[in-house]
Structure 1
Amino acid sequence: MVFFKRIGDLHFTGQQEPITLDETEVSEYLLADAENTLPEGYALLARNERTLEGVYRRLRSSPEMRPMLHIGWRQELKDKNETPWLTFSLQDEPEQEGLEGFEGVIRLSRNKGLLLESRTVGYKEVAESLPLEIETSETSDDVELLDLPFATDSEQQPEESNEKEELMVQDIQMPDQLGGFFEMSESIKVKLGKLYYIDHPTMGLLVKVTPYQASLEEQESLN
């Protein structure tokens, strides 16, 4: 799997209240390149065993996406109620664009086929909007003054009037910047060897499931 966040000029406001993963989803099994704690029968894939290395490298050169995790594992396929969630936790540098932190879970199980479930929560502190002062002019006749192109300077002069113009100051807010809590959740049936793309305006997940060909020694140990 490859997890990435979207970067660039994002203007989304997420939920203000924290979004948390369910207690039934959060587990002790952590997906990370070091200090892993995986269930019995699971094993991390070496870099040369992963099939999405090319995809990961292309994302690293993308001006719109920032890959944050590329990892793979081998597992025995079991029913959904026997398959634990795998957890991942990611934190980006504060100066980087996009969301700052992510908490996610993922699992692959057997449920009338192959079932892939994932849920990720992303977060960035909401920045305070800065007010702008905009001045507008208004006459007593409510005639709107337009900045029109004129042929000569004399034509640009307004007609004489004894009516007093009033300046009005209005406060408006800057457009909402990226901030708040965002959730990406998906449950899909998958096929072997096919690349699946789980999309969200602020993040994304690429997953590919491939069959494992056990060695003769492994097959003999199983028998």
Structure 2
Amino acid sequence: MKNKLIQLLITFLLAFSAVSLKAQTVFDVEMVFFKRIGDLHFTGQQEPITLDETEVSEYLLAGSESLLPEGYALLARNERTLEGVYRRLRSSPEMRPLLHIGWRQELKNKNETPWLTFSLQDQPEQEGLEGFQGVIRLSRNQGLLLESRTIGYKEIPDSPSTETEAIDTNQDAELLDLPFETESEQVPTENDAVNAAKEEVTVQDLQMPDQLSGFFEMSETIKVKLGKLYYIDHPTMGLLVKVTPYQASLEEQESLN
């Protein structure tokens, strides 16, 4: 009888250890991505910025249309913890949230963990950048390692043409009865110099880029502490991320036994 109790206790401890180990290697990752709006005056890189080939993957974060790796699962709305943060951002006059999503994953080494991609396009009448391409992943690398990279862009407007039409100065001289026939014979005055300076400023103003245009990059690699809210910031966009350990339910624990 005593031996049976000991064997039963050992079996229980082994099963409990297996469940605990499983629970400790499974994590919930939640993110809120937003863009900044308002009176922004930034000019980004004119040449397009693209994701590296090693970052591009087939796995997509896109709500119900997400495509996740094997062993990953989307978090239901009632499983997410940043809903209040998302609502506050929606009411902010300076920020516009574009994505709130979460997923559950088993922790693996960095070289075994694929990138998850997201692609966002805001409505053209909205302020701020127009579109975003991003990647994110959580892996094991001497602790919990979170990596993210996002490229935002707004189309650069075409520069207005600065070419001027040729003027027939001889014809103007005849019409206005000026004391000279060609532009080279005109003696510049102080007013002429002032007007020329004004015209130069006007041309420069026409060549100024839009208030917000070009390509921008937000990249971050951080060591993550469980349960802490991380804020990855950029003048044109931002990312909020939280990682928590997943606790298996009683039903899931029983299924592992």
Q: TM-score, normalised by structure 1?
A: 0.81
In structure 2, what is the Cα distance between the partners aligned to 1:209 and 1:56? 16
Equivalent of residue 5 in structure 1, options 31, 35, 46: 35
Inter-CA distance 221–79: structure 2 relative to 1 (3 Å threshold): farther
Aligned partner of 1:185 among 215, 219, 229: 219
- Alignment of 1:173 with 2:175, yes or no, is no
| Deviation of the 1:184 alpha carbon | 0.4
Moved over 4 A (4+): 128-131
Please tell me the residue identity of whatever aligns with 1:204: G
Q: Which structure 2 residues correspond to residues 78-157 of structure 1 after superposition, within 5 A?
A: 78-128=108-158
Looking at structure 1, the residues matched to 160 and 41 of structure 2 have their Cα atoms a distance apart, in angstroms, of: 15
85, 96, 102: which one pairs with 1:66?
A: 96
Output one character per residue of 1:181-201: Cα deviation in whole Å (capped at 9) or x when no partner: 111000000100000000011
Alignment correspondent of 1:135: none
Is the partner of 2:119 in helix, strand or coil? Answer: strand
* Other-structure match for 1:153: none
What does residue 231 of structure 2 align with? 197
Shift of 1:128: 4.2
For residues 112 and 53 of structure 1, what CA distance do their matches in structure 2 show? 30
Counting matched residue pairs gives: 193
More helix by share: 2
TM-fit CA distance, 1:127: 2.4
1:78 CA drift (Å): 0.8
Q: Kindly report which structure 2 residues correspond to 1:6-85, keeping only aligned pairs within 5 A, or say none.
A: 6-85=36-115
* Amino acid in structure 1 at the alignment position of 2:36: R
CA distance, structure 2, for counterparts of residue 90 and residue 29 of structure 1? 15
State whether structure 2 residue 224 is matched by structure 1 residue 216.
no
Distance 1:61 1:129 in 2: 36
CA contact (8 A) 1:33 1:71 kept: yes
Query: What is the TM-score normalised by the length of structure 2?
Result: 0.71
Amino acid across the alignment from 2:191? E
Report how far residue 113 of structure 1 moved: 0.6
Amino acid aligned to 2:101: I
Could you tell me how far 1:32 is from its partner in structure 2? 1.1
* Partner SS for 2:89: helix
Taking the aligned partners of 2:228 and 2:246, their CA distance within structure 1 comes to: 15
Query: 2:133 corresponds to which letter in structure 1?
Result: E
Q: Is the 8 A contact 1:20 1:121 kept in 2?
A: yes
TM-superposed CA distance for 1:50, in Å, is 0.6
Deviations 1:19-40 (A, max 9, x none): 1101111111100112221011
Q: 201-210 or 28-37: which moved more?
A: 28-37
Partner AA of 1:214 in structure 2: A
Asked whether the 8 Å contact 1:130–1:173 carries over to 2, the reply is no
Q: How far, CA to CA, are the matches of 1:84 and 1:129 in structure 2?
A: 41
Shift of 1:14: 0.7
For 2:140 and 2:255, locate their aligned partners in 1 and report how far apart those are by CA, in whole Å: 23
The one-letter amino acid paired with 1:67 is P
Q: Could you tell me which residue of structure 1 aligns to residue 18 of structure 2?
A: none
Secondary structure of 1:210's match? strand
